[in-house]
Amino acid sequence: MHVLYFHQHFTTPMGSDGTRSYEMARALIREGHTVTLVCGSNSRAETGLLGNFSSGKRRGFVDDIDVIEFDLNYSNHMNFIKRSLVFLKFAFNSIILALREPADVIFASSTPLTVGIPGVFARWVFRKTFVFEVRDLWPELPKKMGVIKNPIILNLLSLLEWVTYHSAHRIIALSPGMLDGINIRGIDRSNILMIPNGCDVDFFGVNHETQRPVSVPNENFLAIYAGTHGRANGLHNLLDAAIILEEQGRSDISIVMIGDGSEKKSLMDRAQKLNLKSVIFIDFMSKMELRKLFYNADIGLQLLENIPAFYNGTSPNKFFDYISAGLPVINNYPGWVAELIENENCGYAVPPDDPLALANALVKAEKNRGELKNLGLNARKLGMEKFHRHDLAKRWVEWVVQE
């Protein structure tokens, strides 16, 4: 079959965003299918295309994936209006493409929710098979975060959500909360399959070389946060924990924060104002470079703002990358990820909005480095046995291309 795959934020492993769409497209190809993947440009992504844009897009093969990239730059530094315009332009361009490009299956992966619009059109205009993947529950999450408050916009998004779900022949959810949220909107559970983000255990299992920030002494305990520095991530709690550690004289614990986002400048300004020497900020980097730091780290930090909708409604890429690399994890919010960590004994789950508990978990981890090694082995085992990317990809492919 030929799958026309829409994902606005596509990247290869050379970028710093999640590579789920790249891996799933490759899985389709391994199973004998062909893929045209449609995306936009992203400040943190590398699509693999190097040629010039012509008439607003460029096209070429990247690892056997036929990639079409629209000249629509997106950055998480954009305000709501600018983001919305980019999302709508991508949806409009994608509708035209969906009506012209040959395809047996139209597949769309959110976010944003608007990426499903070309699939809706293809379903009802040309009676194409449409499969939709939900990475975030919209508009529930932005509503709970207070990002979108206008009732008209919220109602329009809610309508788009309902239409998209009910237009799709099949839906993929990335977490238990997403599955429940889709079901509540009137979709039978038999038409929803949960396939979370996966572990690239082969990619992280080959230790080519290691890297350590030059400002972190070799003897220091190294905790890494790798991900977006945005409102949803609640990273000021991490700075509060760093303050507590420095007050306790724990200069032997270093915290490295890798990534970019709308809150990064305020985080850096605050850390500088407080003279937090234990906190090091690094710009986002490719997955290829990131694994070098993971190999040299002691623990990974999985952090989010204390919003109940996040508890079971997210499938965090960084958590799966941590355990792929055999890193134990500290998690600071309840839900299915915290339960995994506790049940599989691969890290520490601490209460939300509790920087003292977060600081104490770092101290405990540093004190028990022998135990920490076993937690890391458990993390790697969890990734291999329950979240191996190849296993999840096979289920994903079967669901997408079934007759």
* pLDDT of residue 49 exceeding 90: yes
* pLDDT of residue 248 exceeding 80: yes
pLDDT tens by residue, 273-296: 999 999 999 998 888 889 889 989
Query: In the prediction, which pLDDT does 18 show?
Result: 86
* Prediction pTM value: 0.93
* Closest to 70 (Cα-Cα) out of 42, 44, 98: 42
3-state secondary structure of 271: helix
Bridge partners of 65, per DSSP, are 62
Looking at domain 2-198+388-401, its CATH superfamily turns out to be Glycogen Phosphorylase B; (3.40.50.2000)
Query: In the prediction, which pLDDT does 364 show?
Result: 97
Residue range 228-239: average pLDDT? 94
Query: In the prediction, which pLDDT does 285 show?
Result: 87
Query: In the prediction, which pLDDT does 403 show?
Result: 75
With cut-offs at 50, 70 and 90, classify the pLDDT of residue 6. Answer: very high
Q: For residues 233 and 227, what is the distance between their CA atoms, to the nearest angstrom?
A: 9
**CB-based burial of residue 384 (10 Å sphere; 0-12 exposed, 13-18 middle, 19+ buried)?**
middle
Q: For residues 338 and 342, what is the distance between their CA atoms, to the nearest angstrom?
A: 6
Bridge partners of 62, per DSSP, are 65
CATH topology assigned to domain 202-386? Rossmann fold (3.40.50)
* Closest to 317 (Cα-Cα) out of 6, 9, 4: 9
Residue 275 backbone zone (phi > 0: left; psi -120 to 50: alpha; other: beta): left
What DSSP element (H or E) covers 37?
A: strand 34-42
With cut-offs at 50, 70 and 90, classify the pLDDT of residue 390. Answer: very high
* Closest to 194 (Cα-Cα) out of 399, 382, 343, 389: 399
Query: In the prediction, which pLDDT does 208 show?
Result: 65
Percent of the chain surpassing pLDDT 70: 99
Q: How far is CA 242 from CA 235, 245, 279, 299, 343, in A?
A: 11, 5, 7, 15, 27
With cut-offs at 50, 70 and 90, classify the pLDDT of residue 378. Answer: very high
* Closest to 239 (Cα-Cα) out of 282, 276, 213, 264: 276
Query: In the prediction, which pLDDT does 174 show?
Result: 97
The reply to whether 202-386 shares the fold of 2-198+388-401 is yes
Lowest-pLDDT range of 32-46, 72-86, 157-171 = 72-86
* pLDDT of residue 143 exceeding 90: no
Q: For residues 275 and 277, what is the distance between their CA atoms, to the nearest angstrom?
A: 6
* pLDDT of residue 209 exceeding 90: no
Per-domain residue ranges for the chain? 2-198+388-401, 202-386
Residue range 308-330: average pLDDT? 95
- C-beta of residue 390 within 8 angstroms of C-beta of residue 199: no
